[in-house]
Amino acid sequence: MYLESTNARRISKNRVCNNGRFLPVVRYLSAAVSLVGSMSALADGLTISGLVGAGPTYTSNIAGGARYAVDTAPNRPNYLAFNGSESLGADTSAYFRLSGRFLVDTGQLLGQLFNANSIVGIRGPAGDVSFGLMRDFMFEYLTAGGFSGAWHGGLWGASQGPFTNFGGVNIGPSPSSNFDYDRTNGEMSTNGVKYTNQFGPLKVGAMYAFGERPGSVTSGSTYSIGGLYQSGKFGATVAYTDFRDGSTPTSTAHIRVLGVGSKWNADRWTLAGTYTRSDNVNTGGVINNYGIGTTWSFAERYILTAHYQYMTGNAPLLDRYAHQLLLVAETALSKRSRLYFQGAYQWAGGQDAKAWINGATGQSSTSRQMIAGVYLEHRF
């Protein structure tokens, strides 16, 4: 999903297992905390990082009624990550990353234990090669690069609208709907191989995720390519992903997504614009998404963010469209803690269009939907 924090604490051991099986979640977390207490300054070793955030949330309309709740904070995911590396000499190192996302309000994992990253790789002068569960370049370059709505607003800033017949397959309140249809929120690919390399200000990459279906190379597979250019105050990116659903032995969903973005960084503000096109090959449904966002920091500890996106579907999607505005106001409480307000408002149009903000637990019964809350976040 959306971005994880980069804060980390280093420890000297990496065993959290029992007879070859991972411990249940509570014991797993307890073991991780105890290991942090024995942290070491070794050049090679294990680091632990994570983020915990939650707060009261109001949603104006879900199936006709308002919702009041305490929810996991939407701007960045709650997660726990383990990173390890070892120098192999000649500027080359082996590394791994295991990370999982969870809901603070319920304590539940979002799927399996390591649901955000499960990769092992090697990096050196010839580039970086990794294997495992990973995100494609719609997330890695458009979002992690600082361009997309998911970058500006996390879960609520990612793409979803009144396109319930698009036929998406990403995990969400309604997996068969259009949750994160352009994959900028960070949808995962299993059985993946990824290569990236840096050439001055230009970073390029390619990824292929095997479908692992007997008798077919392409069935259930995904491939993605991308480029990211950042030099001085200017940045630009392009990414393409061809996704064939392999979540079940018989699934045939086939989605193609193209994204481009550009941004300008000044001393205290940034301006970024994006365009994505999401194409359901099987149904002919196409969603075009145009976004623009800005951030402004002031008085050392305050940041304001605004993002607008316009989503429009073609005839197979009943020519529905939606406008969405997102606002975030945050203040730093310390180097690792912050308090922020976040709100999003979507208004939809077209034939029987009903608004649906990405991350809301259900669709509105009307063409309008608003979601807002105040959240406390702590990184470690």
Q: Please report whether residue 1 resides in a domain.
A: no
Query: What is the extent of the structural domain holding 55?
Result: 9-379
Question: pLDDT value at position 19?
Answer: 36
CA 115 to the chain's CA centroid: 12
Phi-psi region of 84 (alpha: psi -120 to 50; beta: other; left: phi over 0): beta
Cβ-count burial 334-369 (b if 16+ within 10 Å, e if not)? eeeebebebbbbbbbebeebbbbbbbbebbbeebeb
Of these ranges, 6-15, 42-51, 195-204, 238-247, the one predicted with the greatest mean pLDDT is: 195-204
CA distances from 336 to 142, 270, 302 (A): 25, 22, 14
CA 58 to the chain's CA centroid: 22
Q: Please report whether residue 134 resides in a domain.
A: yes
pLDDT tens profile 137-173: 999 999 999 999 999 999 999 999 999 989 877 766 6
CB 4 within 8 A of CB 116: yes
Q: Please report whether residue 270 resides in a domain.
A: yes
Q: What is the mean pLDDT of residues 171-192?
A: 84
- Check pLDDT > 50 for residue 128: yes
d(C-alpha 51, C-alpha 336), whole Å: 9
Q: Please report whether residue 179 resides in a domain.
A: yes
For residue 341, what is the enclosing H or E element?
strand 337-349
Q: Which of 215-219, 309-313, 320-324, 338-342 has the lowest mean pLDDT?
A: 215-219
CB 128 within 8 A of CB 195: yes
Total number of domains in the chain: 1
Question: pLDDT value at position 176?
Answer: 54
- 13 in helix, strand or coil? coil
Any bridge partners for residue 265, and if so which?
270
CB 119 within 8 A of CB 100: no
Question: pLDDT value at position 174?
Answer: 57
SS3 content of the chain, % helix, strand, coil (to 5): 5, 55, 40
CATH number at residue 184: 2.40.160.10
Type of residue at 376: L
Q: What is the mean pLDDT of residues 173-185?
A: 81
Q: Please report whether residue 3 resides in a domain.
A: no
User: Which residues lie below 8 Å from residue 291, measured CB to CB, with a gap of 6+?
Assistant: 148, 149, 273, 274, 275, 307, 308, 309, 310
- The DSSP line for 291-309 is EEEEEEEETTTEEEEEEEE
Q: How confident is the model at residue 296 (pLDDT cuts 50, 70, 90)?
A: very high
Cβ-count burial 216-227 (b if 16+ within 10 Å, e if not)? eeebbbbbbbbb
For the whole model, what pTM was predicted? 0.87
Q: Please report whether residue 4 resides in a domain.
A: no
Q: Please report whether residue 107 resides in a domain.
A: yes
Q: How confident is the model at residue 38 (pLDDT cuts 50, 70, 90)?
A: very low
Q: Please report whether residue 35 resides in a domain.
A: yes
d(C-alpha 151, C-alpha 1), whole Å: 11
Type of residue at 150: A
Record the tokens describing residue 121, joined without a space.
Answer: 């790789």
